Amino acid sequence: MDPLYHFLTMVEADPRISAAHISLYAALWKKWKDSGQDGPLSFFRQDIINLCKISGGNTYHKVLRQLHEYGYVKYIPSYNHFLGSMVSFTSLKATLKT
């Protein structure tokens, strides 16, 4: 099954997750799928915020950090304006109860 499906199944029971979390995760997932990569996604904030519809930079960073803290993604920020940040999607399938 698709990891996006697993994510949506997991967050259904996670009261910490808001619409902003779901939107950002879905936007990152789409960018990753569009890239055709198998490894982590390298991205820039401006490429994601238009897709996820989070306009505030503080909200964007807070939500991304929370997705990392909650274990939904592995986020490696870049403080270099020429190198994108990295995100990889954690395996949620093993944590689902079937």
CATH of the domain at 75: 1.10.10.10
How far, in Å, CA of 46 to CA of 82, rounded?
A: 13
Whether the model clears a pTM of 0.95, i.e. scores above it, the answer is: no
Total domain count for the chain? 1
Its domain, for residue 77, covers 3-95
- pLDDT at position 93: 54
How far, in Å, CA of 98 to CA of 87, rounded?
A: 27
How confident is the prediction along the chain (98 residues), in pLDDT tens digits per residue? 577 888 999 999 999 999 999 999 999 999 999 999 888 999 999 999 999 999 899 999 999 999 999 999 999 999 888 889 999 988 765 554 44
